[in-house]
Each structure stands twice: as structure tokens, then as C-alpha cells.
Structure 1
Amino acid sequence: MLATIYKGFELSPSPYQLRETGEWTVRVMITKHHDSRDESLVKPFSASNAFKERKDAESHAIQFGKEIIDGKHLNLSVDDLL
């Protein structure tokens, strides 16, 4: 799955497969590009959800990233990327 732009952030799903079960975990890299400073800041986030299909984990990762940006997860924030 390709990266998705959401509210000025780039969301890149990067699930990994669990060796024990073969399931895919949810992981998303959230990037904020700062053209004026000529830098990009990246922060990884993961969730405990696991899916049988990689595409399902990727879809959930994008949704998870959007929720983080929207402030729906109290302990997760992208404030340090701004």
C-alpha cells in the first residue's frame, strides 16, 4: 500500500509478520515534511492488533495514523513532529 497524505502528514503503513502465528501487526510511520527547514521528521507507531492478511493490517495502520493525528489516542501524539 502506498503512503497516504492526511492533514499535512504522510502515513506509511509498515506492518510486519509475526513468526509464531503468521499474522500481520499494525505499524505506521508518520512523517511531517518541513520544506522551509529542509527536513522531514518521522515517528513510528504500532498497535497490538494483528490480522491474517497484510492488506488488512495496512488499511488499519492508515486508519490508526489518522486517529493519532486527530488526537483520538490520548497517549499518542505527533506534536513533536510539528
Structure 2
Amino acid sequence: EKNGKWIEINANPHRLDLDWRTCLEIRDRGILFIINPDAHNTKGIADNRYGINVARKAGLTKEHVANTRSLKEFVSLLKK
């Protein structure tokens, strides 16, 4: 958090390289996440559900995930 970095949860089912247990450790350090479907076409956007499942299993809430915020809040986070 102090470095202003976010951690990506890549929701592509062929990736899913961030395990929910690792998310717990990262969450406890106060680092924000961003869920990315890694979509290369419009059908790929539906893959977001896999990233959401990882986030839920790790107990992440909207406060932990940057791209669950309103546009105004998201822009504010970008400026930090």
C-alpha cells in the first residue's frame, strides 16, 4: 500500500495464477486488488466471474478491490 501498487487477480480461467490463500496474505498487508478478465474478445469479459470467485473465497470486500468503486472513487485511488 505504501508504494501505491495494486495486485491483479487475473480472471482468465487458463491463468488464475493468484491463489485465494495468497490473496489473504496480500489483503492483510493492506494492498488493493484489481480484478481483470484478461479478455481478448467480448466473450472473455464473462471470465470476470472466476476472479470474483477467488476474491470471495479470500474474503475480499469492495474495500479491497479497486475496480468495485464508483468512477469518482476509482479516479481518486489512481491519484494516490
Q: Same fold (TM over 0.5)?
A: no
* Structure ranking higher on relative contact order (CA contacts 8 Å, 6+ apart): 2
Output the TM-score relative to the length of structure 1. 0.28
**Greater C-alpha Rg:** 1
